[in-house]
Chains A and B, each alone.
Chain A
Amino acid sequence: MSDSSANDSRVLRKFLRHKPAVVASVVIAVYGVVAFVLLVVGVITLPDTLKRVGAELQPGLSSERLPEKRLLDCEWLIDRIASLSERRNPEKALAAFSDMGVRRIADVELDELLNRIDLAWESYDELADIEDVTAAAAGTLDDPDVPPPAEVRSMLTELEKRTDALLEPMTKAEKSTRWFELLLGTDRQGRSIFYRAVYSVRVAILIGLVTALLSVTIGTLAGLAAGYFGGWVDNVVTWFYSTFASIPNIVLLILLAFMFDGGHIDGPINKVTGGLLDRLIGGRLDETLIPVYIAFTATFWIGPCRVVRGETMKIKELEYIQAATVMGFGRARILLRHVLPNVTYLMLINFSLLFIGAIKSEVILSFLGLGVKKGPSWGIMISQSKSEVINSFFWQIGTATTFMFFLVLAFNVLSDALQDVLDPKHV
């Protein structure tokens, strides 16, 4: 074992020959860039992911909607605008309308708008009388009173035209924004699934990166110290990780989330540190991702700590370390110069594994209502979609799963490759 650069480049070459691993790295890099752009530039912001962009449960990729669904979507929009026009201050309410994403209400006099609303309702009422518009449009409805299918279809087109007349025509730029808004459909609250999924990349990368970095750093330091110094240091570290490891992972997560939840811990922390939290984050702890980081780190540091400790104990017995000790090199120097480089491969592998662990655990935690509190995340999207799945609407769960799938898959492949390249003896 040595830390020469020749060795490094050999490892690198070996890694580059591993094609899936290279592809995986590229995938991870893309996610990373998206996260970075969102974090720094802010193309899609938190409010974008929270506001309505249209009727609920619209399918994505411009899929054909059933006539019944088209009728419903029109109903939603007319009803929404009609209810605004009945407010105490209709002009103001209408001007503030933002439930259709970039689209605005037609810039006409209130009377004219009310007129258009009536027209739209008229058109709607004709169709609403039909038992099943989908069947009627397909001509499978056996009812003499129902108009022929072609007429039903044209009535529907007319209704959509009249509904659209309530809104201001779109400019070219608006049209393209609108395309993105509706790209992957809308969720049960009419929010853009695409925006939510993309914004969640940021959350996932943040959680993965911070948790994995923290856990690996803490775990490695503790493991190095325990393995190298032995004695009481070792006892304390082992006692710590035994304690944390003996509480089942999920129970520990739940307990920690319970502690942070609702801002109970903020008061005491602020009291002791003289308002540290207020100054640092300017808000409540559980609205940030900090509790999630802490909860995950508390459970995840054990893994790297264990392996690094074992490896350090082995390295300590190696001849050249013994020699260095005899030569009187300082312990810190030996640790940093000779031992640490020899455990970096473990750090890398663990980092990759913990990244996956963090992303996947976030889903579980969010399902239990203890995870991310502000804004969307894949976990929140998946748990919210459970009521949509009953209605055979799979766009949200599908999108979140797909986004998450490629990132986790990439990390899985990468972990395997790192394992193969850096630690071939490992089972």
Chain B
Amino acid sequence: MNFANVFARPGLFLTLSVLAVGIAGCGGDSETSSEVSSAEGSGSDSQSPEDGDGGGSSRPSRPSTSERDTPDHASDPVVVSEMTKQSAEEFEQGYKSRLASGQLKSARIPMRSDGPKSLDPIRGSTTYENQCASQTVETLLQYKYLKRPFEYEPLLLTELPQSEDGLTWHFTLKDDVFFHDNACFPGGKGRKITSADVIYSWKRMADIKGANSKVWWLMKDTVKGFDEYKDSQNAAAAFDYDAPVEGFEIVNDREFKVTLRQKSQSFMWKLCMFQTAVVAREAVEKYGERFGLTPVGTGPFIVKEGDWQQGLGIKFSRNPNYHEAYYPAEHMKSDEADDLHLAAGQRLPILDEVQVVFYKTDQPMWLEFKADKLDYAQVPAENFPEAFSKRTRKLKREMKNKGMKGYPVDLLDFIFRGFNMEDKVLGGNSEKAKYLRQAICSALDWDEQNEAFYNGINVIYDGVIPPGLPGYPQGGNSDKAYRGLDLERAKELMARAGYPDGKGMPTIDYYTSRAQNGQEQSEMISTQLSKIGINVQVHLLDFSQLIKKVDEKSAQFFSFAWSSDYPDGENNLALFYGPNEAPGSNHFNYKNAEYDKLYEQIVSMAPSPERDEIYEKMQSMLMEDCPFAGSMARTRFFVVTERMKNFKPVETFENWYKYVDVVK
């Protein structure tokens, strides 16, 4: 097949798609929310069948293919052309009267960990850090709250970034965004954010000296001159934040331009990631290392000194100077059953305070939820049968009678077993090694794992792209895959690999994390592989050691998981891109020139049927070469109490505190 022909004009796709997003993206934006347009500007190339009726989004939507789609995936988006915005007076009045009566709107929610380590966006990596930081600092773009499949919209910007050529992007900041009031500003009054703040915040990501920034990988190879800036500044005695970067150009206080190294589709998604959030330079310079304790940003909530009890919990208080933002009108049809559309037009944030409680173990969390102390809970796997019916995946009667609602959320997970392609036995591009890997893939029974350890609630699928994203095969099944269980095929492949019935097959070293039931899971894998005559030596490591093993390319066969940074299959396809080899994210050390070329092509491509085709092509190569065996995605189940309103559980983005309400 001739790819060059099909993808001759990637730039065009990019432009069209961006335009399209530009128009649709205004849905949640306060300034233009009453004139949400439908699909006119979208260009005809990117309409997927589902979106064909011109629903609300003109962004090429992703065909939804998961067998177990949550209802919202399957349903139509609803665009409300009129939205009554809550007036500023009413908003203020409401708060004042609550303050006077001592009845502040307050939520109490759990977090299943010992919490974030830092609230500084450039030091965050875990989902817990994401969730806590996302309430206090803000990014230029954000995910639309109710829209599925995911789309982005401007948050600190007046409109989506504009570009003529897909390389140089023009950003315009909103005019009413102020930093939190803080002692670091003259008079303690938060000042208006400027273009310089954005550039400064991004430059901080490059400051890896002293392991300051943990998130450089996000910006690597993205902006023109930025990598050079990073290298020279880290080599210099002191990091100079005022030194110029070729790709950053400040037009005025509200406008700036960014020039990319090459066209990049993921750049916009990165601007939704909390690591790129805008922080105040004054605060960073005043508080230094302690900035991570009480970050100063523009978010709807503030963490005051003493409100973060390390390891215990964190309290967020309403930011009185939050910029004008409203609960979105755009929603999915299915949201109406949960009354998620009723709050449209309410000024944000709705809550006055949010108390997050950290639970290192699930048991007290579930106990407190049952004692009605929490507004929602994620259902721990071991309590799943208590809350949900396995057959229907619906909430049990007992819970329903208390007015609770249950939501399954498919996570953007890629859980797999990986082969080290540089290994003598399992690795390499020889036909025999390939047959061996295919044999192992065919002998592994993911359904059994799912049944035994996850109550069968997870999604098992072929390929590397998680459910709900373009590139995910129809129903999760692809006929190109070697996913098990198919023992006959596995045995035949073993014979072709030169190990009939496992004769002459050396023992495989399998490395996995010592997490919950890691032991039992690996025992199951040993049993499954023993059926085709492969002996497995299991090595249970704790996570840090597992990463180390993999990074050093010394793990022959390992268990790993990747959860998408942004909802685009490209993020997962990058895991097999040659130059990303370990210690980079290509843990498999998979190298395939043809694949790499295709990957380089898709980074700059806008979502389109053509791109979907390349995705499929790339996945087929992976399924044939089998550098991994997979795949599984977790499903998270949420139980939400009656009093918690406007909550649509999601784990892909975390800045949703501002939308929810608690009605006692």
Measuring CB to CB, which residues of chain A are less than 8 angstroms from any residue of chain B? 50, 52, 56, 72, 75-76, 79-80, 83, 87-89, 92-93, 128, 131-132, 188, 261-264, 283-284, 286-287, 373-374, 386-387, 390-391
Contacts and interface: CB of A to CB of B under 8 A. Distances in A.
B390 A390 contact: no
Contacts of A87: 447, 485
Interface string B360-395: 001100110010000000001011011001110000
B485 A262 contact: no
Interface of B: 362-363, 366-367, 370, 380, 382-383, 385-386, 389-391, 397, 401, 447, 451-452, 456, 485-487, 514, 519-520, 523, 537, 539-542, 545
Contact of A131 (B380, B397, B447): B397
Among A188, A262, A284, find the residue whose CB has the most chain B CB atoms closer than 10 A.
Answer: A262
Given A79-B391, A88-B485, A373-B519, A262 B385 contact: no
Contact of B485 (A93, A188, A283, A390): A93
A92 B382 contact: no
Given A83-B447, A263-B541, A374-B519, 13 more contacts: A50-B523, A76-B390, A79-B456, A89-B487, A188-B382, A262-B541, A262-B542, A263-B540, A263-B545, A264-B545, A373-B540, A386-B363, A387-B366
Nearest to A264: B545
Nearest to B397: A131
A286 B390 CA distance: 36
Contacts of A373: 519, 540
Contacts of B382: 188, 387
Given A373-B519, A391-B386, A262 B540 contact: yes
A264 B540 CA distance: 10
B391 A89 contact: no
Contacts of B520: 50
Contacts of A89: 485-487
B389 A287 contact: no
A373 B456 CA distance: 25
Contacts, number: 64
B366 A390 contact: yes
B516 to A, nearest CB: 9
B380 A387 contact: yes
Contacts of A261: 514, 542
Given A262-B545, A386-B363, A72 B385 contact: yes
B363 A262 contact: no
Nearest to A284: B539
Contacts of B541: 262-263
Nearest to B398: A132
A203 to B, nearest CB: 15
18 contacts: A50-B520, A56-B385, A75-B390, A79-B456, A87-B485, A89-B485, A92-B485, A128-B389, A132-B397, A262-B542, A263-B540, A284-B540, A286-B540, A373-B519, A387-B380, A387-B382, A390-B366, A391-B386
A283 B540 CA distance: 11
B537 to A, nearest CB: 7
B660 to A, nearest CB: 26
Contacts of A391: 386
B487 A92 contact: yes
Among B362, B390, B486, find the residue whose CB has the most chain A CB atoms closer than 10 A.
Answer: B390
Nearest to A261: B542
Among A50, A83, A373, A387, find the residue whose CB has the most chain B CB atoms closer than 10 A.
Answer: A387
Nearest 4 Cβ contacts at the A-B interface: A262-B542, A262-B541, A386-B363, A387-B363
Nearest to A55: B385
Nearest to B367: A390
A283 B537 contact: yes
A88 B541 CA distance: 33
A52 B382 CA distance: 15
Contacts of A75: 389-391
A380 to B, nearest CB: 11
B610 to A, nearest CB: 32
B353 to A, nearest CB: 28
Given A83-B456, A92-B485, A93-B485, A390 B363 contact: yes
A331 B367 CA distance: 64
Nearest to B447: A87
Given A50-B523, A87-B447, A387 B370 contact: no
A287 B526 CA distance: 15
B383 A83 contact: no
A88 B487 CA distance: 11
B539 to A, nearest CB: 6
Contact of B370 (A76, A88, A390): A390
B623 to A, nearest CB: 16
